[in-house]
Amino acid sequence: MEKHGLRERKKERTREALIDAAHVLFCANGFEATTIDQIAEAVEVSSRTFFRYFTSKEDVALSLADEQITAVLEAFAAQPGDMPVLTAMRTAAVDVVRVYETEARYTSLQNLISVSPALTAARVERGAARFDDVVRLISARMGVDPDVDPRPCLVASVALCAVPTAVVAWRAAGHQTPESELTGQAFDLLTAGLDYPARPAVPGEN
Amino acid sequence: MEKHGLRERKKERTREALIDAAHVLFCANGFEATTIDQIAEAVEVSSRTFFRYFTSKEDVALSLADEQITAVLEAFAAQPGDMPVLTAMRTAAVDVVRVYETEARYTSLQNLISVSPALTAARVERGAARFDDVVRLISARMGVDPDVDPRPCLVASVALCAVPTAVVAWRAAGHQTPESELTGQAFDLLTAGLDYPARPAVPGEN
DNA sequence: GAAATACTGTCACTCACTGACAAGTGTCGT
DNA sequence: ACGACACTTGTCAGTGAGTGACAGTATTTC
């Protein structure tokens, strides 16, 4: 993967340093309150250089989340070919999250995302950028043409958008359950269908 | 609802004028290429005043979408009490969209959103802002406590996030079907569960 | 009609982000 | 070892979004 030599190593180092510094500052002062200048200063580069490594403030915050999506997609593609789509996606997502959630960096990033609307939106946007890839993978597994069959699209939107949103909401509601378990639970509920009955007609109980 | 008199009327007029002018400019030049100054100039107010009516450029673009969400939630609450959640949500969403999609303003806004990542993200963000309300409505209908039962949260994330995303994707893929129909289709598929089987083992066909 | 209240414009400012150019540093052939 | 070349970086200048403060003008209320 790497080209060769010193130059590449230096670049990789400043890139990592920027991610680190940004992460520390975000955690200390919050995402919106941190400026690009502060991040650049902490690494002793110009703010112009920051933008040569990352396209935006969101970009540096979400670089980890990007890796994660890539990992999930790889794991999904690696599932046995006869496994139903959502089950395969569930397995892939849960396996990957189980690994990531052991990293402190990852969990604090999740907190950051859940308290910053700007980051939440950016995360969804990045998911959307992968939308076409995901649809391709899913329709390949289902053996259908995504231009005709709308189901791959729906599954993709649920996996990229609804599940993360629900997981964040559960955590915000105070659930201490590990994220991998919440993710699994979300997929399980989706598998079974969502049309839950209304309040039972028998009153007086609770 | 209204207070009284001239001042209120004037405010309402400039607000509408800003929305109109913004919409025209967005359609003509695109969302990102349009500046606040241009919008303000078209209405002959200062750009400072623009920000007294709208908190951001996205805000003015999505004011219609906001109304729509409100309308869907009202319709949802008005569904018969014994109707299952997703069915009720489906009915509410389809009914409301059916009304909105007759307005030219609305359909062109949908186009705007689907071609601008910034607007797409902002739309999701606005949906997320209503998340708690939606969860409350859903758990009330189900007669469960959202702090204990995760299902209302999941249903909310699907309705606010997955369905719109899927609908936009289908339209982008070239489907000319009216949006109300696509919305209905999305809910139908969700009702039945999403764990579609993998490609059938019988090869040589297709 | 005058005082309290609300709306608006101007000004000055911060911050995210970009293009252009010049200077510094790494790489490679000889 | 040395120079041609490619790549990276800092500086500078500029745009556009968004905000706080203050002063002037219009509306309401009494």
Q: What pLDDT was estimated at residue B200?
A: 64
The whole-angstrom separation of Cα B19 and Cα B25 is: 10
Question: What six digits make up the tokens of B157?
Answer: 């994330």
Instruction: Give B35 or A4, the one with higher predicted confidence.
Output: B35
Q: What pLDDT was estimated at residue B168?
A: 86
- Residues in contact with strand D, defined as Cβ under 7 Å from any of its atoms: A 7, 10-11, 14, 44-46, 48-49, 52-53; B 4-8, 10, 34-37, 47-48, 51, 55-58
CB–CB of A134/A159 below 8 Å? Answer: yes
Inter-chain CB pairs, A–B, below 8 Å: 181
Q: What pLDDT was estimated at residue B117?
A: 87
Question: What six digits make up the tokens of A157?
Answer: 């939107």
Round the average pLDDT of chain B to a whole number and report it: 91
Q: What pLDDT was estimated at residue A188?
A: 94
Nucleotide with C1' nearest the B13 CA:
C7
- From chain B, pick out residues whose CB is under 8 angstroms from the CB of A121: 121-122, 124-125, 128
- At B202, the pLDDT band (50, 70, 90 cuts) reads low
Residue B62 touches chain A, beta carbons under 8 Å: no
Q: Please state the separation of Cα A84 from the chain's center in Å.
A: 22
Q: Tell me which chain B residue has its CA closest to the CA of residue A150.
A: B170
Q: What pLDDT was estimated at residue A189?
A: 93
Instruction: Say what percent of chain B tops pLDDT 90.
Output: 74
Which of these, A93, A83, A81, lies nearest to A127 by C-alpha position?
A93
Rounded mean pLDDT, B152-171: 91
Say whether A162 and B166 touch across the interface (CB within 8 A): no
The gap between the terminal CA atoms of chain B, to the nearest Å, is: 60
- At B206, the pLDDT band (50, 70, 90 cuts) reads very low
Burial class (CB in 10 A: 0-12, 13-18, 19+), A174: exposed
Residue B151, min C-alpha distance to chain A (Å): 8
Residue A165 touches chain B, beta carbons under 8 Å: yes
Q: What pLDDT was estimated at residue B1?
A: 45
Say whether A195 and B199 touch across the interface (CB within 8 A): no
Q: Any idea of the CA torsion for A39, A45, A46, A50, to the nearest 10 degrees?
A: -60
Place of tokens 């989706």: A190
Q: What pLDDT was estimated at residue A201?
A: 55
Instruction: List the single range of A142-146, A177-181, B68-72, B114-118 with lowest mean pLDDT.
Output: B114-118
Low-confidence ranges of chain A (pLDDT < 50): 1, 203, 205-206
Q: What pLDDT was estimated at residue A200?
A: 65
Four-residue CA torsion sign, A153, A156, A158, A160: negative
CB–CB of A183/A94 below 8 Å? Answer: yes
The angle that helices B131-142 and B117-129 make with each other, rounded to 10 degrees, is 50
Residue A147 touches chain B, beta carbons under 8 Å: yes
Residue A119 touches chain B, beta carbons under 8 Å: no
Reduce the secondary structure of B126-193 to three states and give it as a string: HHHHCHHHHHHHHHHHHCCCCCCCCHHHHHHHHHHHHHHHHHHHHHHCCCCCCHHHHHHHHHHHHHHC
- At B131, the pLDDT band (50, 70, 90 cuts) reads very high
Four-residue CA torsion sign, B69, B61, A62, A31: negative
- Our measurement of CA A53 to C1' C18, in angstroms, reads 14
